[in-house]
Structure 1
Amino acid sequence: MGVSIRAYARSRGVSHVAVLKAAKSGRIPLEADGSIDPEKADAAWERSTDPGKAKGTARPAPEAMKPVPEAALGSVRETLKEQGLPASGNVTFVQARTAHEIAKAHLARLRLQRMKGELVDRARTTALVFRLAREERDAWSVWPARIAALMAAELGQDAHTMQKVLETYVRAHLAELAEVAPDFR
């Protein structure tokens, strides 16, 4: 024998609107006459309710919960330390939520900076620096050939010898510069 929606709501400790929504969405069965069989409805309610979203229900026992990977806990601790907040050995839910909110705020700030044009793409920047360095190297590589004759005439030396000496020193200097690797971190 079934009970009314309001009576079932009182026995569950929820509003009659919550019971109506559950019945309308098919989470709990209704009898043919529109009443509710409490045993069937309770079983269906438990099967279809997310325990994390249910009000007034106890949390699952710690042994029933999935373990959190150490990498995630380390990330939470690191985020909290970066902000000068305490990061104890055992991470609490509040600490994890705080770290999550901090990370969301950082991400939002980065998106805003990118939209404003204050941030540049690392790959594009690396390509640009490489292109500029190559252009600079090429300009210096041809410089001895352009200037050697002028310097030789000014110093009263052989132009060919002057060009060879300049090329030797310019190439040595360019080799030193090539050892510098830009790091955009």
Structure 2
Amino acid sequence: MAELITVREFARREQCDEKQVRRGIEKGLLVKDSAGLLDASQVGGPWRKTNRRGRDSAAAKAADTSKNVRTDVRTPDVRTSLTVEDGETIDEAAMRIALATAPFPRAEAERIKENFLALLKKLEFEQKEGSLVEMDVAVRVLFDASRAARDSWLNWPSRVGPLVAADLGLEADRVTEVLTGYVHQHIAQLGEPSADFTGQG
């Protein structure tokens, strides 16, 4: 004779909640008699596996959905340099960092903002003090100084050539011509003026 047990006893033997057992009955996965009792032989049957497959499928769909949502959220690029790079203005650096690393938590965003404001104030102070010179100004000064030195070299043979010729008892034009050739060769070897203002050279 089959052993009949209550829903509570059935749930205890299955080590599950009574609600799960009742849902199994409602779905037709478990059969009860007219008195509301269950055949104990159904304990350990496939009814819970069916429910579990449904839950696993729902969980998998939820995981896929959350994964898709996460891919739409931008995460900070830790490789992005949080400093002003060579040839970059303060505003350009701020824009680059904001685009590459946003969104920041509010506290972190405030910290970065304050750091950039402090850096900007420091640069403005150094510029007004005279210890910081704009790149265009530095390049122009270097070019002007190099051009003045070049012109001085080119004028040197005609100025000292006759003096050297007189000391050596030679023809002035010939000495000046020889000196001019060597000066041109020297200037060609020097090349165009250039300098590394980054401090890394």
> So what's the TM-score if we normalise by structure 1?
0.50
Whose Rg is larger?
2
| More relative contact order, 1 or 2 (CA 8 Å, 6+ apart) | 2
> So what's the TM-score if we normalise by structure 2?
0.46
